[in-house]
């Protein structure tokens, strides 16, 4: 068993980032509800506990609280933002609304003799985001950082091993944030840093073999990063006893279906490709509402998968590419049910399996990508951008037709070709078929053709994002190529809306 750091969640938007930062420092972390009892925590034997931020005010009656007994377990605790306020409020301190709220990067003065702040600069910037603050510390605590508007930007009680920061050390906007978390893990919790992805791989292979025995496993392969890495891991653990069903709904990017088939051809698994493009298009005739599109595609995918599964005979186990953030968001337990969040769009709940295999359910996205590389998958696949389960169907406004899909695929390929030349690429980029026509001129004639929109964003977690400020020369080149090389396109526009208020996808 690896050493464990527990991240207790109080509704903070950065909970996954905290846990991932800890893992990046070679310490295994798990996210649990903030209400987890001290008794259960004791059984887990964590080396340390981190309390996340949250949107509530700790002094309100219904605000989330932790079991106060955790402060008497002798386990080092770090409270972040709401977590700081919760520690102080629970132990007799006072929390009130700020006179001046702090948002964004704020300059903070640190006491570098404090255990959390060893080795960092005395003054640096950190991300603040709070409307409440601690105005009186509990007995035994001392302040260890301050800003002009926040007297207690951090505090500690060394005797009780309790530490608190009002700012967010887990985000990149905090200059020495990673060092602060490292100090908590290694200097305060005394971890050795025993978490390695190779260990996870070996543990999962043993677990799969033990659970499956000589039975066969079925996997719905979407071609996305998660399901592809899941397939590679299973084929390594149980060679020639994995069957992958790849339902090609016709909404993949250019040549993508063929590329996915090529990757898995010759692997120690049974690969079934179902070319169901016409079937999906028939179901979507006349449908323009985006939510209806998603539901129709999800339901039809389930039918196709069920039909193919029925042809295969007796297969005992179903595998899914569920990853750790999926479990956190759904609140589900490992392997408890066939989850609707799955990246193939949801599978039928009435399929008869004796068990579900989810070998990636303990990993974050970047860990899944790293594992994929270890398993020999090509960079083009493991580095693939996030792609919605319904594919290009939610990047086409209005009714979906084969003609529109062909136009969008060509425009999207040009966009990707050009952006790939950049040294610093956006995290996600794609073309959108707007279904809007615009007057143009080609040669000596008037045209009335379609408008393509370009979307490119930068983000760390896809919960929020900023539009990517692509160079104007690049945008001009992309526009020129699309209008000249793709028939029936008269205009290209660039979406410069961040999330919120927009979403990453248009539908």
Q: Please tell me the distance from the alpha carbon of residue 472 to that of residue 478, in angstroms, as a whole number.
A: 10
Q: Do 158 and 205 fall within a single domain? A: no
Chain position carrying tokens 């002009």: 148
Position 403 in a domain: yes
336 — pLDDT class (breaks 50, 70, 90) = very low
Q: Do 252 and 165 fall within a single domain? A: no
Contact 357, 208 (CB under 8 A): yes
Q: Do 208 and 130 fall within a single domain? A: no
| 362: CB partners within 8 A, 6+ apart | 200, 324
Nearest CA among 454, 294, 459 for reference residue 365:
459
> Which of these three, 327, 357, 382, is where a domain ends?
382
Query: What confidence score (pLDDT) does residue 332 get?
Result: 41
Q: What is the mean pLDDT of residues 258-277?
A: 88
Tell me which of 66, 81, 150, 230 is the catalytic residue: 81
Give yes or no for residue 129 having a pLDDT over 60.
yes
Q: Do 317 and 369 fall within a single domain? A: yes
Query: What confidence score (pLDDT) does residue 340 get?
Result: 36
Q: Do 228 and 338 fall within a single domain? A: yes
Q: Do 236 and 377 fall within a single domain? A: yes
Query: What confidence score (pLDDT) does residue 381 get?
Result: 85
Position 501 in a domain: no
Q: Please tell me the distance from the alpha carbon of residue 167 to that of residue 144, in angstroms, as a whole number.
A: 12
Query: What confidence score (pLDDT) does residue 345 get?
Result: 41
Query: What confidence score (pLDDT) does residue 347 get?
Result: 54
Q: What is the mean pLDDT of residues 28-41?
A: 94
Handedness of CA 24, 26, 31, 37 (dihedral sign): negative
Q: Please tell me the distance from the alpha carbon of residue 293 to that of residue 296, in angstroms, as a whole number.
A: 5
> Which of these three, 188, 220, 246, is where a domain ends?
188
Q: Do 253 and 372 fall within a single domain? A: yes
Q: Do 270 and 410 fall within a single domain? A: no
pLDDT in tens, 338-350: 233 434 345 555 5
CATH of the domain at 250: 3.40.50.620
Q: Of 37-51, 245-259, 341-355, 460-474, where does the model show the most confidence?
A: 37-51
Q: Do 160 and 54 fall within a single domain? A: yes
Position 36 in a domain: yes
Contact 163, 156 (CB under 8 A): yes
Query: What confidence score (pLDDT) does residue 456 get?
Result: 94
Position 499 in a domain: no
Contact 491, 435 (CB under 8 A): no
Least confident of 208-222, 317-331, 394-408, 491-505: 317-331
Position 153 in a domain: yes
Residue count (the chain) = 507
485 catalytically annotated:
no
- Whole-angstrom CA distances from 240 to 182, 208, 270, 300, 496 are 43, 14, 7, 28, 48
Position 161 in a domain: yes
Give yes or no for residue 325 having a pLDDT over 80.
no
Compute the radius of gyration of the chain from its Cα atoms. 26
CATH of the domain at 31: 3.40.50.880
Position 500 in a domain: no
Query: What confidence score (pLDDT) does residue 302 get?
Result: 82
Q: Do 159 and 206 fall within a single domain? A: no
Query: What confidence score (pLDDT) does residue 250 get?
Result: 92
Q: Please tell me the distance from the alpha carbon of residue 476 to that of residue 99, in angstroms, as a whole number.
A: 48
Query: What confidence score (pLDDT) does residue 329 get?
Result: 59
358 catalytically annotated:
no
Helix (H, G, I), strand (E, B) or coil at 143: strand
Give yes or no for residue 461 having a pLDDT over 60.
no
Q: Of 12-26, 176-190, 343-357, where does the model show the most confidence?
A: 176-190
In whole numbers, what is the pLDDT of the chain averaged over residues?
Answer: 89
The verdict on whether omega for the bond into residue 501 sits within 30 degrees of 0, i.e. cis, is: yes
Contact 215, 316 (CB under 8 A): yes
Query: What confidence score (pLDDT) does residue 335 get?
Result: 31
Tell me which of 130, 168, 249, 342 is the catalytic residue: 168
Contact 296, 287 (CB under 8 A): yes
Q: What is the mean pLDDT of residues 320-349?
A: 53
Tell me which of 170, 300, 308, 358 is the catalytic residue: 170
Query: What confidence score (pLDDT) does residue 462 get?
Result: 57
CATH of the domain at 439: 3.30.300.10
Give yes or no for residue 64 having a pLDDT over 60.
yes
Q: What is the mean pLDDT of residues 264-279?
A: 90
DSSP state of 138: P
pLDDT in tens, 75-90: 999 999 999 999 999 9
Concatenating the DSSP letter of every residue in 314-347 gives: ---EEE----HHHHHHHTPPTTSS--TTSTTS--
pLDDT in tens, 494-504: 999 988 788 88
Q: Please tell me the distance from the alpha carbon of residue 300 to that of residue 53, in angstroms, as a whole number.
A: 40
Q: Phi first, then psi: what are they for 197, rounded to 5°?
A: -65, -35
pLDDT in tens, 410-429: 999 999 999 999 988 998 99
Q: Do 306 and 370 fall within a single domain? A: yes
284 — pLDDT class (breaks 50, 70, 90) = very high
Query: What confidence score (pLDDT) does residue 447 get?
Result: 81
Q: Spell out a b/e string for 477-488, using b for 16 or more CB atoms within 10 Å of the CB, else e.
A: ebbebbbeebee
Q: What is the mean pLDDT of residues 463-469?
A: 81
| 213: CB partners within 8 A, 6+ apart | none
Pull the structure tokens for residue 503: 């979403």
Position 506 in a domain: no
Which of the pair, 463 or 362, is modelled with greater confidence? 362
Strands 355-357 and 428-442: unpaired
Structural domain including 114 reads 4-188
Query: What confidence score (pLDDT) does residue 339 get?
Result: 30
Q: What is the mean pLDDT of residues 138-157?
A: 94
Which of the pair, 462 or 356, is modelled with greater confidence? 356
pLDDT-above-90 percentage for the chain: 61
Give yes or no for residue 433 having a pLDDT over 90.
yes
Q: What is the mean pLDDT of residues 13-32?
A: 90
> Which of these three, 382, 407, 436, is where a domain ends?
382
Least confident of 53-67, 153-167, 326-340, 492-506: 326-340
pLDDT-above-70 percentage for the chain: 94
Number of domains into which the chain is organized = 3
Give yes or no for residue 184 having a pLDDT over 50.
yes
pLDDT in tens, 367-395: 999 999 999 998 888 888 778 778 899 99
Nearest CA among 10, 176, 28, 204 for reference residue 107:
176
Query: What confidence score (pLDDT) does residue 463 get?
Result: 58
Q: Do 330 and 208 fall within a single domain? A: yes
81 catalytically annotated:
yes
Q: Of 138-152, 245-259, 289-303, 357-371, where does the model show the most confidence?
A: 138-152
């Amino acid at each position: 068993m690896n050493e464990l750091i527990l991240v207790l969640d109080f509704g903070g938007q950065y909970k996954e980032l905290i846990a991932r930062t800890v893992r990046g420092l070679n310490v295994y972390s798990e996210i649990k509800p903030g209400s987890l009892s001290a008794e259960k925590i004791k059984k887990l034997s964590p080396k340390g506990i981190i309390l996340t931020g949250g949107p509530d005010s700790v002094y309100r009656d219904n605000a989330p609280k932790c079991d106060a007994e955790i402060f008497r377990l002798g386990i080092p605790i770090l409270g972040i933002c709401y977590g700081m306020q919760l520690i102080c409020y629970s132990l007799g301190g006072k929390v009130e609304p700020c006179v001046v709220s702090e948002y964004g990067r704020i300059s903070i003065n640190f006491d570098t003799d404090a255990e959390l702040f060893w080795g960092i600069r005395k003054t640096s910037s950190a991300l603040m985001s709070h409307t409440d603050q601690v105005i009186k510390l509990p007995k035994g605590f001392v302040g260890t950082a301050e800003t002009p508007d926040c007297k207690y930007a951090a505090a500690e009680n060394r005797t009780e091993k309790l530490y608190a920061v009002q700012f967010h050390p887990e985000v990149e906007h905090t200059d020495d944030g990673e060092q602060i978390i490292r100090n908590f893990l290694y200097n305060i919790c005394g971890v050795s840093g025993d978490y390695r992805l190779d260990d996870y791989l070996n543990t999962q292979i043993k677990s799969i073999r033990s659970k499956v025995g000589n039975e066969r496993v079925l996997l719905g392969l979407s071609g996305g990063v998660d399901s592809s890495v899941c397939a590679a891991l299973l084929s390594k653990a149980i060679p020639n006893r994995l069957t992958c069903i790849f339902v090609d709904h016709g909404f993949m990017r250019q040549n993508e279906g063929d590329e996915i088939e090529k990757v898995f051809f010759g692997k120690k698994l049974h690969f079934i490709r179902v070319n169901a493009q016409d079937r999906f298009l028939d179901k979507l005739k006349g449908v323009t509402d985006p939510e209806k599109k998603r539901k129709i595609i999800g339901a039809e995918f389930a039918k196709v998968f069920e039909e193919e599964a029925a042809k295969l005979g007796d297969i005992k186990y179903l595998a899914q590419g569920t990853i750790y953030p999926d479990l956190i968001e759904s609140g589900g337990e490992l392997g408890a049910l066939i989850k609707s969040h799955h990246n193939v769009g949801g599978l039928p709940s009435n399929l008869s399996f004796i068990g579900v295999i989810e070998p990636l359910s303990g990993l974050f996205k970047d860990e899944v990508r790293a594992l994929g590389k270890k398993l020999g998958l090509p960079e083009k696949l493991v580095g693939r951008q996030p792609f919605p389960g319904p594919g290009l169907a939610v990047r086409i406004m209005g009714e979906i037709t084969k003609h529109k899909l062909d136009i969008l695929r060509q425009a999207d390929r040009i966009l990707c070709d050009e952006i790939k030349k950049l040294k610093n690429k956006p995290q996600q980029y794609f073309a959108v078929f707007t279904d809007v026509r615009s007057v143009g001129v080609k040669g000596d004639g008037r045209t009335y053709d379609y408008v393509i929109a370009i979307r490119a964003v930068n983000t760390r977690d896809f919960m929020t994002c900023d539009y990517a400020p692509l160079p104007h020369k690049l945008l001009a080149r992309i526009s020129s190529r699309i209008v000249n090389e793709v028939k029936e396109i008269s205009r290209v526009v660039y979406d410069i809306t961040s999330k919120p208020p927009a979403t990453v996808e248009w539908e």
